[in-house]
Structure 1
Amino acid sequence: MTPSRTDPAIHREPFVHLVDVAHDRALVAWGAFFFERAPNGRWDIVDDESLPAKVGRRTCIGSSAETFGPTTVQVLAEGGEVVAEASPDERAWVWVEGLQPDTEYHYRVIVDGRDWAAEELWDWVPVARGGYDLAPAGRHYDLRFHTWPHPDAPTPPLRFVAMGDYGVGMRADAESSRRQQRIAAVLDRLVRDHDVRFALSLGDNVYQGERGRVDEEGGGEDDDWYSSFFQPYRLSIARVPVFPAIGNHDSADSEGSDDRAQMEDNFHIEERFHRGLETASVLPGLFYRLRYGADLELVCLDTSLDSEDQEIHRYFQAPKHRDWLRQTFGGRPRRWLIPFSHHPVFTAGPDHQNDEEMRESFEPLFDAAGVRLVLAGHEHNFQVSDVGGRTYVVSGASGQLDERVPEGFEEAHTTAWSGQAHLLLVDVEEFEVRLTPVAGLLDDGQPHPMTALSPTNDLVEPPIIVRNDQGS
């Protein structure tokens, strides 16, 4: 029996996660993190290894989490009537099917006859005595989502966000934590008031460290992910799905080998992308495509190192993934086909250079498919490169930040850059995509667009516009 929220020794904080949405179904997950009083009187998260002894559980969140009790997920129409429901066995997630395309719904998670996470939320917030602690935050979940258009219907105007290199964690009293929280507040506002339908993660979803508050493996346990993902974005990820790319800090490239397995668990990779083999090539590797109506397809590229095959340097060079990529970029043309990945093809630095392996593997595919826009992270700033009629964008500063001026503008064909924290707001219409980096919120709560500079220090004001006049 797990402790209640009112247990004086252990606090259970419930979470809801809208993992995925399609035109006719939604994947809903739920879970909780557990906290105990530290000797200094503050709350401290219960480490995964201590869960069995302290709260009688093996896991707290993700696809492997065991049940919290008999559960039913209900999806409701705007009028309040239940239109679909599902009751899983021995797990804390479920696909709810039989929904209508392009429709807004409310939903409920009912555990042991009570609405899960219906009370006031306790968040990790600044406190009067200094630093941060777990405390009631005056916020509540607003559980609703909007299904996607039918895959064969014309793609309506769409707004989504992309954010890279965000997972620094926000439990430490540090500028990086405040930076991640600031950009998370932008995401909350865009989802709540500006019709954002989903988020693309451009990789590095969780980092090692956080001033000693995360263990050596960085992202190998659920309690690491509380700080880097579930708490900062808790309101947003209950409303819109996040589609992840693998970063070097999410895998054995830079940190522990268990980081990637934990990411696959918390993002429900097998449940989301292993169902339809034509639309994904995964395990090992993470390649998938997302079709939003008939005219837009997003393609996730895994650019990390292949640690399981000594003869293959990177996952995209493996034969099974190469075949899938050729099929994806050689299939029926879409008006908009937008690849996204962690590592960029072109970057002016300051820490990295153009990626020749990616150029060799991907540029012929992009040319054949008429790709006009490519999104990536990894470099901790904002960059735009125009090469061969194609716009390459680096957006890797939603948590990490490098303010140094890059030196490789000419080699990367850079047209704009900025050393500010931000996320990228993407508006897709029939013949153009508008890109607006957003650095924060104004005093009235409205998003604050971020200006950039050209390599010659001329001001570049948003939005950056990418045109595509080709027929679909």
Structure 2
Amino acid sequence: MTRPHTLLLAATLLSLAACNDAAPSTADAGSLAATITDAAAATDVVTPADAALAPDDVPAPERFSYVPMGCTHRVSAPVGSTSNFRDDRSTFGAAPDPHDVHVNWPADPSSTIAFLWRTDPGTRATVVQYGLSPTALDQTAVGSVGTAGLMGNQVTAHEVHVCGLRPDTTYHYRVGGEGHWSAVQRFKTGPAPGRTDYDVRFVVAGDSRDDVSRWRQLQERAMGGMNPPDFEIFTGDAVLVGFLQGQWQSWFEGARSAMSTVPFVMVHGNHEGLSVNYLMQFAQPQSGVSSQDELYFSLDYGPVHLVVLNDTPLRSDYEGDVLGTQLAWLRADLARARANRARVPFIIATHHKPAFASSSHSDEIDTQAVRRGWAPVYDEFGVDLVLNGHEHDFELSKEVDGQGREVSGRRGTRYVVTGGAGASLTTLGAGALQPWGAHFESAHHIVEVHATMTRLELTPRRLDGTVIEAGRISLTPRAP
């Protein structure tokens, strides 16, 4: 078998090449070099990159997979996950207490939730107790656990999926196992499909990378208001190097105020690099294409249809993936969403790299592929808002068509770049806005979105809480 560290390094370098400012700090570079050296003997570690880059005559490894009790969707461990176990309630290792507890949506947000956490490799107990009261956790579910990652950067991730929950209901829960429970936390399910009297509030952030302090401050601000968000969208590049587990642990620590109660919708960025550490620690809807599971999908939440895409494909395969498999899937999904506008009036798409921005990456090959392939489809099907990261700033486009030309009368799409969650800030690429640009600000920030059946409002806030007034927008539904 090809040694995985070589392939993983190649895949990581390809993904980081999309960033001009991608050079790690001295400490990060040393850690990266040590990781690759240590991995030389780790021939039992397989990564998604291995599966993609293996010769055609080598069969893909069989994946650990199952359907959780009471659910209709399937859970499939990433390629490279080892020591996978299910339904264990009582096996504990040296450090069994749960860390980095968080929740995601693996399917319909109104009735489904996934609980995830991290322990030592010897702990197999994967139990969740939950209920309608913090003092009456009268229901129990069990799940699966697996370990993956390069030597010295392995993660043991636990995952429990629960289905059949009541819509618009607050549940309380704890995870772990007898004698080793987490604190009791809570989450709320989404509104029932078709409900028309629901206010949705969510926040959007991206590109925290290697500044955990700013990331923590933004999360505390997002959760500290009178109306905490229903969920959060993260537009990619959570860490600098996706397979360094220590960076993920710092990122989770920074998000602690939000993650155990607010579901995160994760967008894959080029700095995640399709690393198995990223894939192990989040649970999202599966596309049915094994190499892209949990990387592109859609879901409805109240008046919002949300489309999540992956613009950093395996092997940098823009023609076959971004402009092939995903484009075909996107057209079919948006056709259904457009037909359903009377019930779900706003269509929002999110992915890492912006089609229309004014900063340093606006003319690069991968950005041009997104602009050429996806922007005309957004225009054709009437996508209202596109949320991106990649550029470390805040940007708002004019209302534009699929070619970036300004239009009016709710006939176009607004593009928002929100990549100011911690990474070093960027400046205008040519010293001036591109023709499609309406506003640019080099500022650390987070974006708040409020949606009802009659209006969608977007408000960007700087790290100090002040509003970027020129970045505010208010949209009404398009005609069905």
Say yes or no: TM over 0.5.
yes
Residue equivalent to 1:128: none
Partner of 1:315: 321
* Structure whose residues are more often helix by fraction: 2
Q: SS of the counterpart of 2:390? A: coil
Q: Distance in 1 between matches of 2:116 and 2:253?
A: 15
Could you tell me how far apart the structure 2 residues matched to 1:4 and 1:358 are? 44
Letter in 2 for 1:72: V
Change (3 A) 1:297 1:282: farther
Distance 1:28 1:371 in 2: 31
- Partner of 2:255: helix, strand, or coil? coil
> Structure 1 residue aligned with 2:139, among 84, 90, 106?
84
1:392-423 deviations in whole A, cap 9, x for unaligned?
Answer: 11111101132534536553421112111011
1:261 equivalent in alignment to 2:284: no
Say which of 295, 298, 307 aligns to 1:289.
298
Q: What is the Cα deviation at residue 184 of structure 1?
A: 2.7
| 1-structure distance, mates of 2:260, 2:442 | 30
Alpha-carbon distance change, 353 to 412 in structure 1, aligned in 2, over 3 angstroms: farther
Candidates 152, 160, 176, aligned match of 2:194: 152
Per-residue deviation, 1:350: 4.0
Q: Find the aligned partners of 1:106 and 1:201 in 2 and give their Cα distance.
A: 24
Matches within 5 A, 1:133-282: 143-154=185-196, 156-168=198-210, 176-190=211-225, 193-207=226-240, 218-227=241-250, 229-251=251-273, 259-268=274-283, 272-274=284-286, 277=288
Within-5 A mapping of 1:49-448? 57-58=120-121, 67-69=123-125, 71-78=126-133, 80-82=135-137, 84-88=139-143, 92-116=158-182, 118=183, 143-154=185-196, 156-168=198-210, 176-190=211-225, 193-207=226-240, 218-227=241-250, 229-251=251-273, 259-268=274-283, 272-274=284-286, 277=288, 283-284=291-292, 286-293=295-302, 295-307=303-315, 309=317, 312-313=318-319, 315-318=321-324, 320-333=325-338, 334=341, 335-353=345-363, 355-386=367-398, 387=400, 388=407, 389-402=412-425, 404-407=427-430, 409-440=432-463, 448=465
CA deviations on 1:305-341 (whole Å, 9 max, x unpaired) are 44075xx4473123x3222111011224231110001
Give the 3-state SS of the residue equivalent to 1:327 in structure 2: helix
Which ranges in structure 1 are unaligned for 5 or more consecutive residues?
6-11, 33-56, 59-65, 119-141, 169-175, 208-217, 252-258, 442-447, 453-459
CA displacement 1:175-226 (0-9 Å, x = unmatched): x343223223223425xx423011111111210xxxxxxxxxx221433310
Distance (Å, rounded) in 2 between the aligned partners of 1:158 and 1:282: 32
Cα 1:4/1:85, change in 2 over 3 Å: closer
84-93 vs 361-370, which deviates more?
A: 84-93
Give the deviation of 1:390 after TM superposition.
1.7
Counterpart CA distance in 2 for 1:3 and 1:419 is 46
Shift, 1:357, TM fit: 2.2
Contact 2:234–2:266 at 8 Å: present in 1 too?
yes
What do residues 361-381 of structure 1 show as CA deviations (whole Å, max 9, x unaligned)? 123321232112111111110
Cα RMSD of the aligned pairs, angstroms, is 2.7
Percent identity between matched residues is 26
CA 1:96–1:332 in 2, change beyond 3 Å: closer, same or farther? closer
- Contact kept, 8 Å, 2:131 with 2:172, in 1: the verdict is yes
Q: Are 1:158 and 1:197, in contact at CA under 8 Å, matched by a contact in 2?
A: yes
Deviation at residue 238 of structure 1 after TM alignment = 0.4
Q: 1:303 to 1:149 in 2, by over 3 A?
A: same
Deviations 1:235-286 (A, max 9, x none): 31101111111111111xxxxxxx5322111113xxx322x74xxx562372
Whole-angstrom distance in 2 between the partners of 1:398 and 1:363:
25
In the alignment, the residues of structure 1 paired with residue 244 and residue 442 of structure 2 have an alpha-carbon distance, to the nearest angstrom, of 31
Q: 2:104 aligns with which of 8, 12, 19?
A: 19
Name which of 430, 445, 451 aligns with 2:468: 451
Q: Size of the alignment, in residue pairs? A: 357
Question: Offset at 1:346?
Answer: 0.6
**1:337 counterpart SS class:** strand
In structure 2, the CA distance between the partners of 1:412 and 1:301, relative to structure 1 (3 Å rule), is: farther
Query: What amino acid sits opposite 2:116 in the alignment?
Result: A
Aligned equivalents of 1:468 and 1:164: distance in 2? Answer: 26
> Helix, strand or coil for the counterpart of 2:416?
strand
How does the TM-score come out when normalised to structure 2?
A: 0.68
Native 8 Å contact 1:273 1:282 kept in 2: no
**Quick check: 2:220–2:257 contact (8 Å CA) kept in 1?**
no
Q: Residue type of the partner of 2:142?
A: S
Q: Structure 1 residues 155, 393: closer, same or farther in 2, change over 3 A? A: farther
CA contact (8 A) 1:348 1:414 kept: yes
Shift of 1:79: 7.4
Given the superposition, is the C-alpha separation of residues 356 and 224 from structure 1 closer, same or farther in structure 2, using an over 3 Å criterion? closer
1:13: how far off? 7.1
Three-state SS of the structure 2 residue aligned to 1:328 is helix
Q: After superposition, give the CA deviation of every residue in 1:46-66 in whole Å (9 maximum; x if it has no partner).
A: xxxxxxxxxxx44xxxxxxx6
CA distance in 2, matches of 1:331, 1:450: 35
Is the CA contact 2:130–2:137 (under 8 Å) kept in the aligned structure 1?
yes
Question: Which blocks of at least 5 consecutive residues in structure 2 are unaligned?
Answer: 1-91, 147-157, 401-406
